[in-house]
Amino acid sequence: MVVADVEESTAGAAPAGTRIRVILADDNRGLMAELLRILCWEFEIVATVPNGRELLEAYDRYKPDVVVTDISMPVLDGFAAAEALGRMGNPPVIFFTIHDDPAFLEEAKTLGAAGYVVKGCPPSVLAKAIRSAYHGRSNGPH
């Protein structure tokens, strides 16, 4: 992941006085800490979890505006978690993954993903995807 500061621009941000509530799911603790450090300036990170099962539990507890999840995680992968989330309230899901592969992108589309961001992109790309998902716009692969 390229480390960079999140853009200061508020274009497309949540209405004044509110912050977009986000759950982050990834089994890479170092990456999770870095994302939390960068994204917390703009978003309210309500939970960080290391697997899909805990993602479902956190979603049920916090009802975030947007879910950002890795695909390859232990216990329950991101695709299976997204499928279950579709039955739990269908929040916008952004896949944040190392898989820069058309087959993975197609599966994400089939599951109704609001975004697909490949790890290695600047954090500002993920932030933009979160804002777009919150506002109901699909964000293609990056």
Pick the CATH number of 72-135 from 3.30.1370.10, 3.40.50.2300, 3.40.718.10, 3.40.50.720: 3.40.50.2300
Max CA separation in the chain (angstroms): 40
Q: What is the pTM of this model?
A: 0.85
- pLDDT for 14 beyond 90: no
> In the prediction, which pLDDT does 4 show?
27
Model confidence at 97, pLDDT cuts 50, 70, 90, reads very high
| Torsional sign, CA 25, 23, 5, 10 | positive
Each domain of the chain, given as residue ranges in start order, spans 72-135
The alpha-helical segments, DSSP class H, found in 6-122 are 29-39, 52-62, 78-88, 102-110
Q: Give tens-digit pLDDT for 26-62.
A: 999 999 999 999 999 999 999 999 999 999 999 999 9
Is-contact 96 69, C-beta < 8 A? yes
What mean pLDDT comes out for the span 117-138?
Answer: 91
